[in-house]
Amino acid sequence: MYMKKYPCVYMRGGTSKAVFFHEKDLPEDRSLWDEIFMKVMGTPDVKQIDGMGGTVSSTSKIAIISPSDREDVDVNYTFKQVDIVIPRVDGSANCGNISSAVGPFAIDEGLVKAVEPITVVRVLNTNTNKIIEEHVRVEDGHAMVHGDEVIKGVPGTGSRIDMYFEDPAGSKTGKLFPTGNKRDIFDVPGYGEIEVTVLDCSNPMVFIRAKDLGIKGTELVELNQNKDVMEHIERIRCIAALKCGFVEKWEDARTKSTSAPKVSIISDPQDYIDMDKNEVKAEAMDICCRAISVGSLHKAYPMTVAVGTGAAARIPGTIVNDIAKPAPDQDIIKIGHSSGVTEVDVKMDGERVIKGGVTRTARRIMDGWVYVRD
């Protein structure tokens, strides 16, 4: 029995990796896609040994690209998060890091004409129906790879990509604050009441104070071993999914809404040692954050969550604003995370989020065919 094969490109975007497909190379029947994507990644299996997944959420991702028929958009981009231990593919949210690889992919694949020195690629993320504008450095007709840009969580340097998430509020729920409140009190079964902020900006997310979980907020992968705290976080996330209207019962979010909402654990600026054993100083950040993605600590910080964190930091009344305390005209919010400090540039009109800007690097790792078993 022969295996099926599909042309693809394996790319790093920011601090994540994904298998990229042209939509035209996939079956017209989209109901077949999820099964293909799980086989591509080797899911379900904690090792993902029979596929291309890297055993963590940031390396178990899929991107599907196609030309757009909209005049204001160059390409359409659909993101899929492939779970690891359960047979599920979640398309309810976007990945900001993988978004950064869409522009270079589109240029190198001939979907967008290369214009030196910078090609502007306008991307419609179909998960959120939001536009991302990407400014990609170009040389000799291809997206540049080499450069002096450093992003925390990726070794070495690369070519700078400037990304702007346009009008990011209400990506899935249609509201910046899905519950109608800037802060809510959740009564968490087995744990009691806790104050949170639920925000939908580039992606839905819930913010939780580290101290309310009984942790410092500087923890790294050891947090995954704290089963009680991780269960507390997951129950909060599930209740937030219910409040956002993603599930009818909060318990269902464990299997039916695994990627949305995202989780950010926030605390005051503080010193810590990051994933690369570098010392990060409190004065380098406005807020200390840890992200939880598909049940585990994110080893950097999702870019969509960075945009949302920056927006929440600038809106009085959120628990994020309480900690960050930015000046009224402070556009740049510095976020201390597992791999260092990332800056997000948030443009506001009062409490309306105009756009959020971040800087990333990306590159093609391999291209060819991926084989899946029937």
Which residues in the chain come in under a pLDDT of 70? 1
Shared domain for 206 and 158, answered yes or no, is: no
Q: Is residue 356 part of a domain?
A: no
Q: How many domains does the chain have?
A: 2
> Cβ of 319: how many Cβ atoms within 10 Å?
19
For 145, residues 6+ apart whose C-beta sits below 8 A from its C-beta are 158, 159, 363, 364
- Judgement on whether residues 19 and 93 belong to the same structural domain of the protein: yes
Which pLDDT value is given to residue 374?
Answer: 82
* Closest of 94, 98, 144, 97 to residue 119, by C-alpha: 144
Has residue 176 been placed in a domain? no
pLDDT digits (tens, 9 = 90+) for 298-348: 999 999 999 999 999 999 999 999 999 999 899 999 999 999 999 999 999
198 class by beta-carbon count within 10 Å (0-12 exposed, 13-18 middle, 19+ buried): buried
Predicted confidence at residue 69, as pLDDT, reads 94
pLDDT of residue 129: 94
Which residue type does 242 have? Answer: L
Q: Do 140 and 239 share a domain, yes or no? A: no
| Contact residues for 125 (Cβ-Cβ < 8 A; gap 6+) | 77, 78, 79, 94, 99, 131, 132
Range of the domain at 338: 184-349
Nearest to 353 by CA among 167, 197, 178: 167
What pLDDT, on the 0 to 100 scale, is given for residue 68? 97
Q: Tell which residue, 38, 116, 106, 119, has the closest CA to residue 75.
A: 106
Find the angle CA(177)-CA(172)-CA(255) to the nearest 5 degrees.
Answer: 105
pLDDT for 241 equals: 97
Question: Residue 238: what pLDDT?
Answer: 98
Q: What pLDDT, on a 0 to 100 scale, did the predictor assign at position 1?
A: 64
Supply the pLDDT for residue 294: 84
Q: Which two tokens stand for residue 201?
A: 């900006």
Among 31, 30, 33, smallest CA distance to 4 is for: 33
Report pTM: 0.91
